[in-house]
Chain A
């Protein structure tokens, strides 16, 4: 079975402010909605901005930029975050 491919807006489609407690407040320009994201959702969103990606491609991008050693069930975690971001309208399936 092929993995679902997701797409996100380019980085200039949103504004991000990281608050002191570690969550990121995202203003999504195309929709005018504000989202509050906990890690690793902001990192996933940033990695998705490079272009369409399935979970495998996303893992490769994240491993390039972040130290993910010791993360349990990375694939499952990222798939769950992608589904949440899809529900929020920040990523979608092209």
Chain B
């Protein structure tokens, strides 16, 4: 394609081709210093469905090795988001080397804390906040479970801050991408992960605790049965079915070895307190 950008995030290499320069310039700024893959694992394409759509009301269609046939084009102003969505799509549909969990992850002392839950549960914000407070940020979107040894591999792409969470990081403009309003997920602003998260992104960690956070409720901690955890993690995985027996092995091992709690929290400060307390007790 006319413009190209390559980046390695954790153990995965991407090539992003685009009809436009602007989204890739924005990626270059936010992903500065990330390794560049020689042979990418996945290709993402940002293209105009019709030639005139490159110029007149330019709209970005997301393509690549794996595509959603009915994906709606996005405004060029949201091109950075389109690229990120394209990268997520390749991981969700095409990744076969790891069990992909839709979960955020942070690490301390070689041990990983995983946080998963429905969209809007706050796992992304929570991981970004913990990444500023003594934890190594490993990823806000996907945790990659090693099929051989169960270790968690980092996938520290840009953090996708949504709506209220955008304000939490405004004091660090150098790390922030453009603010994007009225996207399919509301207001979005990307945050470059902390430098140590980028420098150490090849380091895996042993899973030590799994949380199902839920934002907007009175503080509460609930134990969860292994069967419920297993079912919810199959739902949180994008490739459990595709991996077959290897995915079954990885997931049953994870569920049986990692203490799990559901936590409700009314605000991020209380969430961080609850995480620290649980980590001291169980981690």
Q: Mark A1-43, 1 if CB is under 8 A from B, else 0.
A: 0000000000000010101110101010100101010000000
**Are B248 and A36 within 8 A (Cβ)?**
no
Q: Mark B221-249, 1 if CB is under 8 A from A, else 0.
A: 00001110011001000001100110011
Q: Which residues of B contact A17 (CB under 8 A)?
A: 252, 256
Q: For chain A, which range describes its interface: under 10, 10 to 19, 20 to 34, or 35 or more residues? A: 10 to 19
- Closest approach, in angstroms, between the C-beta of A3 and any C-beta of chain B? 32
In contact, A25 and B225 (Cβ under 8 angstroms): no
Q: How far is the CA of A71 from the CA of B245 in the complex (A)?
A: 35
Select one of B245, B248, B249, B255 contacting A19, CB under 8 A.
Answer: B255
Contact B245 A15 (CB under 8 A): yes
A20 to B231, Cβ gap below 8 A? Answer: no
Q: Of B230, B244, B256, which one neighbours A36 at CB under 8 angstroms?
A: B230
- Expressed in whole angstroms, the minimum distance between the Cβ of B135 and any Cβ of chain A is 28
Chain B residue nearest in CB terms to A16: B252
Kindly report which residue of chain B lies nearest to residue A24, judged by CB atoms.
Answer: B227
Instruction: Output the least CB separation between B251 and chain A (Å).
Output: 9
Q: Could you list which residues of chain A lie within 8 angstroms of chain B, going by C-beta atoms?
A: 15, 17, 19-21, 23, 25, 27, 29, 32, 34, 36
Given A19-B252, A32-B244, 7 more A-B residue pairs with CB atoms under 8 Å apart are A15-B248, A17-B256, A19-B227, A20-B226, A25-B248, A25-B252, A36-B227
